[in-house]
Amino acid sequence: NAGVTQTPKFQVLKTGQSMTLQCAQDMNHNSMYWYRQDPGMGLRLIYYSASEGTTDKGEVPNGYNVSRLNKREFSLRLESAAPSQTSVYFCASSDDRGFAIYTEAFFGQGTRLTVV
């Protein structure tokens, strides 16, 4: 089982460049997430999608856009990269088995992004 797959694994961007981080899950989950992880900060939620066609801002959405293309895929776009967006980005998904009964989240391996 592939689980959650992120591409690319590593990326170096110049300030002002744009790029899209791709994420796909094969577990038929409704909920998908994008987090960023910075040293000493834990994971912070960027955007969240409860289902296909819906997205919601998380704690740190500025500078990012997302697209829930279908149930499997959830992409994160940086329109004009800034050095402050240097981070490790994680995509995750989870099942929802009923009202207030969310289960654990499954994470991808991460994308290490450096903006110079």
Partner 1 sequence: SQQGEEDPQALSIQEGENATMNCSYKTSINNLQWYRQNSGRGLVHLILIRSNEREKHSGRLRVTLDTSKKSSSLLITASRAADTASYFCATDRTTDSWGKLQFGAGTQVVVTP
Using CB under 8 A as the binding rule, the residues of this chain from 75 to 94 that contact partner 1 are 90, 92, 94
Closer residue to partner 1 in complex, CB, 67/109: 109
Cβ-based neighbour number of residue 92 at 10 Å: 23
Is 102 one of the binding residues for partner 1 (CB under 8 A)? yes
CB 66 within 8 A of CB 77: yes
Is 44 one of the binding residues for partner 1 (CB under 8 A)? yes
Q: Which stretch binds partner 1 (CB under 8 A): 17-25, 32-40, 60-68, 76-84?
A: 32-40
Binders of partner 1: how many residues, by CB under 8 A? 30
Is 2 one of the binding residues for partner 1 (CB under 8 A)? no
Integer CA distances (angstroms), 52 to 20, 28, 31, 73, 104, in order: 18, 11, 9, 9, 19
Q: Site residues (CB under 8 A) for partner 1?
A: 4, 31, 33, 35, 40-45, 48, 50, 56, 58-59, 90, 92, 94, 96, 99-100, 102-110
